């Protein structure tokens, strides 16, 4: 069965802390608790840091773990220049994941980073970002 669906987004700050998580499609992945999201964020941050050092030819900037693919889902990481990581969980057959994750980063830039009330590296609480992100993912998941 091919869903071609975006399941969830996790945003991790440069220190490895979870600053945002959102599930878009409940039927795709097993529901996990907020504590599990925190553990996942910290674990991914550590693995990403180790993977970036394993490459014998160090690219600039070093990339670390970019994609983790299983038969049930794909986890793609977009690492920003500031060290913030966007982890997007999709169906393993989802096309153009890089375009999707970069559009999510654009929404983050427009509605979170330009918000004068947002404190860097802190959890994201921005209603307009939630609405715009949900609207964008609804378009993708309803294709």
Residue 18 domain boundaries: 6-141
CB 19 within 8 A of CB 11: yes
Q: Is residue 84 part of a domain?
A: yes
Q: Is residue 103 part of a domain?
A: yes
Q: In DSSP terms, which residues pair with 78 in a beta bridge?
A: 86
- 74-82: list long-range contacts, CB under 8 Å, 24+ apart: 76/101, 77/44, 77/48, 78/102, 78/104, 78/105, 79/48, 80/105, 82/14
Q: Is residue 10 part of a domain?
A: yes
Domain count, the chain: 1
State pLDDT tens for residues 8-30. 999 999 999 999 999 987 666 67
Other CB atoms within 10 A of residue 114 CB? 9
Structure tokens at 72: 């049930």
**Sign of the alpha-carbon torsion through 48, 86, 10, 76:** negative
Entry pTM: 0.86
Tell me, what's the pLDDT at 54? 79
CB 77 within 8 A of CB 86: yes
Q: Is residue 37 part of a domain?
A: yes
CATH code for the domain of 118: 3.30.450.70
Q: Give, for all 143 residues of the chain, the pLDDT tens digit.
A: 455 789 999 999 999 999 999 998 766 667 778 888 888 888 888 888 888 777 766 666 667 788 889 888 899 999 998 889 999 999 888 888 999 999 999 999 999 999 999 999 999 999 999 999 999 999 988 87
Q: Is residue 68 part of a domain?
A: yes
Q: Is residue 137 part of a domain?
A: yes
Q: Is residue 1 part of a domain?
A: no
């Amino acid at each position: 069965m091919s869903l071609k669906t975006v399941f969830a987004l996790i945003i991790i700050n440069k220190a490895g802390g979870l600053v945002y998580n959102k599930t878009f499609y409940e039927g795709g992945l097993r529901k996990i608790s907020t504590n599990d999201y925190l553990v996942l964020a910290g674990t991914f941050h550590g693995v990403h840091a180790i993977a970036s050092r394993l490459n014998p030819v160090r690219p600039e900037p070093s990339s670390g773990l970019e994609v983790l693919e299983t038969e049930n889902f794909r986890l793609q990481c977009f690492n920003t220049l500031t060290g913030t990581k966007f982890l997007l969980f999709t169906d393993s057959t989802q096309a153009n994941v890089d375009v999707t994750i970069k559009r999510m980063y654009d929404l983050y830039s427009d509605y979170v980073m330009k918000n004068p009330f947002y404190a860097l590296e802190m959890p994201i609480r921005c209603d307009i970002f939630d609405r715009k992100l949900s609207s964008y993912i609804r378009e993708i998941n309803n294709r």
